Structure 1
Amino acid sequence: MNEPRPTPDDDPGTADDAASARAEPTPRQIRRWRRYLADEIAEGRLYADLAARRSGSQRRILEGLAEAERRHQQHWEQLLGEHAADPPRPSAHRILLRLMARLFGSVFVLALAQRAEGDSPYAQDADAPPGMAADEAIHEEVVRGLAAEGRERLAGNFRAAVFGANDGLVSNLALVMGIGATSVSSSVVLATGVAGLLAGALSMAAGEFVSVRSQRELLEASSPTQVTLDAARHLDVDANELELVYLARGMSPEDAHHRAMERMGHFPCDCNPSFSAHPDGAQGPVDRSEEHHAIGNAWGASLSSFCFFASGALIPILPFLVGVTGLTALLIACGLVSVALMLTGGVVGLLSGSSPLTRGLRQLAIGLGAAGVTYIVGSLLDVAVT
């Protein structure tokens, strides 16, 4: 005789639930469903708060997400019945999301929301319909798309700021640890740290300015110009070199010939001097201010690098500035830098949609590893000199 097939309530995570959703729910189910209900309410309010700050298509998208969360909320209310009254507080993550949405309404909130949607437990819970788990997966992709533009705009200067702060933290801590491991006085360690702060901040600022400016100049040199609009009427139709322009931009020979004839007035064309041809043949308004925004602005990247490197490099010398000396000062510096590295790594993790803890620990390992190496080298040099 065949064994009975397992029911959905036998799935992992619900094996201890004695009754199905259609029967009287178990206390464990009630606790879990109430937690889900609280989180759905919080997420619906989050998207509503964000929608109130947006307009156009983004507002409609966020309102659609809020409506989907309300449908999920109704599902858990129906399962809970009388137990749906006075749901518990949502998780700390959801509370933080809504608070940040009200204060900032920025890409940080969307990045956090993306991670929250990706951590949905519905796929492993038999009490959640498959459609609801699918909704959460789609919501993650929707929020990812909403956050993409903000991430691109933030990428240039934010990259410079994060790299600057981390370089300041790691390089100056390593410098202070290396010098502090020798027999020099604390005043020498402080002077060395201040010199490292200034030298590193100026070097970072100059390097970022040159790097970003060079990137923009290289890309601008490859961007199409409007010379074809001025030169087209003077070209020989039998030796039409204008086709070469469009071939070089990636068009097929047929499309290049058609576009060249349009430019020369032989075919009807909606061309406008304020429009430029893209490699795929599409047309769009020229907006030089929006080009290459992912790279960032050279002056903005330079200033961000200087300020954040200096702020990061200041932390390892703070104990010496307030009069602490010797090994105690070095240990305090390591502790302060460790906290700062965890914070900067966590912020990068949040924005990238990955684990803040993992990114923070990675930054911490890199920073303390570099400091440990220079401390050992400084100790060896001190022994060699003495």
Structure 2
Amino acid sequence: MSAKNPTASPTTTAKDRRRWAQYLVDERAEARVYRELASRKAGEERAILIALADAEGRHEEHWLRLLGGEPAKLPVASLRTRMLANMARRFGSIFVLALAQNAENRSPYDDDPHATAAMRADEKIHGEVVRSLAARGRTRLSGSFRAAVFGANDGLVSNLALVMGIGATGVAPGFVLLSGLAGLLAGALSMAAGEYVSVRSQRELLHATQPNNDADHVLPDLDLDANELALVYRARGLDEATALTRAQTVIGAAHASDRTVPYRRQPEAAADLETVGSAVSASLASFGFFASGAIIPVLPWIFGLSGVAAVVLSLVLVGAALLATGAMVGLLSGAPPLRRGLRQLAIGFGAAAVTYVLGLAFGVSVT
């Protein structure tokens, strides 16, 4: 067996062939995922996704050679790969790409002697390619999505802690309900106001640091030899010689045409503002998602439950929501979703436990 191009050998076992067949169907399924995503894209992103699918096709051919052709019976694709395919058909690419990034980074070829070095290298590079593609979607989501996710989690945790603490004192169910609804409204308004001020201030800061074209109309009057405009470019970080050359070009054009020639060219500033997002949309998202998270702990009391039954159901509902939001953040950040979900669950239940114990200390136990 060549280390550079592994082939089947007389010592090949049935277990080896089953593993190769699994690799074969997984490579085919992954290629379909990339082609499905490519069908919804255009331009460079489409070309990149098609190239990834073609690379998976080359890996598929390798396993076919080792198997000696198409097996009579093939296993089903792995659960992860089938889930990716279903998501690619039904949802946006950002979640699929985030999952694919994790998958590419955990390639089974690293420890398989029958995979070529080129295949192992392909998988590592694919992880970086998918990471870059996913980063574009993460940037577009970063403004309102950040407010939405953190708003929902804050609503879940803060109102769960509130109703657990109030409920542990042994007060009437109606009082727990009113406390939860008051906490929902107060928290949602506070989150919305805070998010608006935060994003608005950030946008104003970016605007204040952007170069403007207020002085464009005086460019034709500048002395070409003295060239004060060069100081502008030097203040922006250019060296003296480059700044002087650029300033002479701009002023020379202004003199020649006797008209205003804008000297401001800052395309990255628009990208920064897009990343920050709209203050109003972030505020509304924060309010809505905090409220949607904060209502969940109160649902058992809304539907007339009380005592231990209400507490247990509230914990179950909030636990499921915390796992879901934590897993979603994990997916979008390229991190293991289960680990992020469990971390979020531990944080939420930890806060609720503290207030529950305090409620017991100042009241009576829930009956």
Q: What TM-score range do you get, normalising by the shorter chain?
A: over 0.9
Q: Report the Cα distance in structure 2 between the residues aligned to 1:268 and 1:134, rounded to whole angstroms.
A: 56
- Contact residue 217 and residue 260 of structure 2 kept, 8 A: no
What SS does structure 2 have at the residue aligned with 1:324?
coil
- Residue matched to 1:277: 265
- Residue matched to 1:230: 217
Q: Report the Cα distance in structure 1 between the residues aligned to 2:75 and 2:264, rounded to whole angstroms.
A: 56
TM-score by length of 1: 0.88
> How far is the alpha carbon of 1:231 from its aligned partner?
2.5
Q: 2:274 aligns with which of 280, 293, 303?
A: 293
- Residue matched to 1:95: 82
Stretches of structure 1 lacking an aligned partner (at least 5 in a row): 1-5, 9-18, 279-283
| 2:169 is aligned with 1:188 | no
Deviates more, 1:205-214 or 1:20-29: 20-29
Q: Deviations over 1:56-81 (max 9, x none)?
A: 11111111101000000111111112
Q: Report the Cα distance in structure 2 between the residues aligned to 1:223 and 1:373, rounded to whole angstroms.
A: 47
- Residue matched to 1:353: 334
> How far is the alpha carbon of 1:276 from its aligned partner?
3.5
Partner AA of 2:357 in structure 1: I
What SS does structure 1 have at the residue aligned with 2:46?
helix
Q: 2:192 aligns with which of 195, 205, 209?
A: 205
> How far is the alpha carbon of 1:84 from its aligned partner?
2.7
Q: 2:8 aligns with which of 3, 21, 25?
A: 21
| 2:106 is aligned with 1:119 | yes
Stretches of structure 2 lacking an aligned partner (at least 5 in a row): none
Runs of 4+ in 1 over 6 A off after TM superposition: 266-272
| 2:152 is aligned with 1:171 | no
What SS does structure 1 have at the residue aligned with 2:275?
coil
Q: 2:35 aligns with which of 14, 28, 48?
A: 48
Identity among equivalent positions (%) equals 54
- Contact residue 34 and residue 50 of structure 2 kept, 8 A: yes
- Residue matched to 2:307: 326
Partner AA of 1:44 in structure 2: A
- Residue matched to 2:356: 375
> How far is the alpha carbon of 1:55 from its aligned partner?
1.1
- Contact residue 229 and residue 263 of structure 1 kept, 8 A: no
Partner AA of 2:188 in structure 1: A
> How far is the alpha carbon of 1:257 from its aligned partner?
1.1
Q: Deviations over 1:318-338 (max 9, x none)?
A: 111111101221111111111
Partner AA of 1:276 in structure 2: R
Q: Deviations over 1:138-165 (max 9, x none)?
A: 0010111111111011011111011000
Q: 1:302 aligns with which of 260, 283, 288?
A: 283
Say if 1:300 and 1:26 are closer, same or farther in 2 by CA, change over 3 A: same
Deviates more, 1:261-270 or 1:222-231: 261-270
- Contact residue 346 and residue 360 of structure 1 kept, 8 A: yes
Partner AA of 1:367 in structure 2: G
| 2:344 is aligned with 1:344 | no
Q: Deviations over 1:58-107 (max 9, x none)?
A: 11111110100000011111111256344221111111111111122421
What RMSD over aligned residues (CA atoms) do the two structures have, in Å? 2.5
**What does 1:39-78 correspond to in 2, within 5 Å?**
39-78=26-65
Q: Report the Cα distance in structure 2 between the residues aligned to 1:331 and 1:273, rounded to whole angstroms.
A: 69
What SS does structure 2 have at the residue aligned with 1:334?
helix
- Residue matched to 1:220: 207
- Residue matched to 1:3: none
Q: Report the Cα distance in structure 1 between the residues aligned to 2:2 and 2:269, rounded to whole angstroms.
A: 59
Aligned residues: 361
What SS does structure 1 have at the residue aligned with 2:169?
coil
- Contact residue 44 and residue 65 of structure 1 kept, 8 A: yes
Q: Report the Cα distance in structure 2 between the residues aligned to 1:79 and 1:225, rounded to whole angstroms.
A: 64
Say if 1:22 and 1:105 are closer, same or farther in 2 by CA, change over 3 A: farther
Say if 1:324 and 1:23 are closer, same or farther in 2 by CA, change over 3 A: same
Q: Deviations over 1:269-301 (max 9, x none)?
A: 9999577334xxxxx6x995x542221211111
- Contact residue 261 and residue 267 of structure 1 kept, 8 A: no
Q: Report the Cα distance in structure 1 between the residues aligned to 2:96 and 2:255, rounded to whole angstroms.
A: 48
- Contact residue 34 and residue 76 of structure 1 kept, 8 A: yes
What SS does structure 2 have at the residue aligned with 1:276?
coil
